[in-house]
Chain A
Amino acid sequence: MDTGSILVPLWISFKLAAATTVMLLALGAFLAYLLAYRKVPARPVVESLINLPIALPPTVLGFYLLILMGPKGAFGKAWEGLFNSTLLFTFTGIVIASVFYSLPFAVQPLKAAFLKIDRRILENAYVLGLSPVKAFFRVIVPNSAVGFAAAAILVFLHTMGEFGVILMVGGSVPGETRVASIAIYEAVESLRYRDAWVLSVVLALVSFSFLLVVNALNRGEGNGING
Chain B
Amino acid sequence: MIRVGVVLGLIFICALPAGASDEKVLAGVAANFMMPFQEMAAAFEKESGIHVESVFTSTGKLYAQIRNGAPYDIFLAADEERPELLFRDGLSGKPFVYAMGEVVLWSADRDFCARFADWEEAVRSNEVKRLAIANPESAPYGAAAVSALKASGLFDSLQAKYVFPQDIGQTFQYASTGAVQAGFCALSSAVTDQGKEGCYYTITQAPKVTQAACVLTRTNNREAAEKFAAFLLTPAGIQIKEKYGYR
A and B part of one assembly: yes
Mask, A144-176, CB within 8 Å of B = 1, is 000000000000000000000001100111100
Structural contact, B166 and A172, CB atoms closer than 8 A: yes
Structural contact, B166 and A189, CB atoms closer than 8 A: yes
Structural contact, A89 and B178, CB atoms closer than 8 A: no
Residues of B2-26 at the interface with A, using a CB-CB cut-off of 8 Å, are none
Mask, B155-189, CB within 8 Å of A = 1, is 00000001111100010001001110000000000
Interface residues on A, range: 20 to 34
Residues of A within 8 A of B64 (CB): 188-189
Q: Does B63 contact A (CB under 8 A)?
A: yes
Residues of B36-62 at the interface with A, using a CB-CB cut-off of 8 Å, are 58, 60-61
Selected from B60, B129, B177, the residue in CB contact (under 8 A) with A86 is B129
Selected from B60, B162, B165, B179, the residue in CB contact (under 8 A) with A190 is B60
Q: Does A66 contact B (CB under 8 A)?
A: yes
Closest beta carbon of chain B to A43's beta carbon, Å: 34
Nearest chain A residue, comparing its CB with the CB of B85? A191
Structural contact, B165 and A188, CB atoms closer than 8 A: no
Closest beta carbon of chain A to B183's beta carbon, Å: 11
Residues of B51-82 at the interface with A, using a CB-CB cut-off of 8 Å, are 58, 60-61, 63-64
Closest beta carbon of chain A to B174's beta carbon, Å: 7
Structural contact, A171 and B132, CB atoms closer than 8 A: yes
Structural contact, A173 and B163, CB atoms closer than 8 A: yes
Structural contact, B58 and A70, CB atoms closer than 8 A: no
Residues of B123-162 at the interface with A, using a CB-CB cut-off of 8 Å, are 129-130, 132, 135, 137-138, 162
Structural contact, B60 and A67, CB atoms closer than 8 A: no
Interface of B is mostly: loop
A191 to B68, CA, bound (A): 13
A65 to B230, CA, bound (A): 44
Residues of A at the B interface (CB closer than 8 Å) are 66-67, 70-72, 86, 88-89, 167-168, 171-174, 178, 185-186, 188-192
Residues of B at the A interface (CB closer than 8 Å) are 58, 60-61, 63-64, 85, 129-130, 132, 135, 137-138, 162-166, 170, 174, 177-179
27 contacts between A and B (CB under 8 A): A66-B177, A66-B179, A67-B177, A71-B178, A71-B179, A72-B178, A167-B165, A167-B166, A167-B170, A168-B170, A171-B132, A171-B163, A171-B174, A172-B163, A172-B166, A173-B163, A178-B164, A186-B137, A186-B138, A186-B166, A188-B60, A189-B60, A189-B166, A190-B60, A190-B135, A190-B138, A191-B85
**Besides A167-B166, A189-B58, A191-B60, 14 other A-B contacts (C-beta < 8 A):** A66-B174, A89-B163, A89-B179, A172-B135, A172-B163, A174-B164, A185-B166, A186-B138, A188-B64, A189-B135, A189-B137, A189-B138, A190-B138, A192-B137
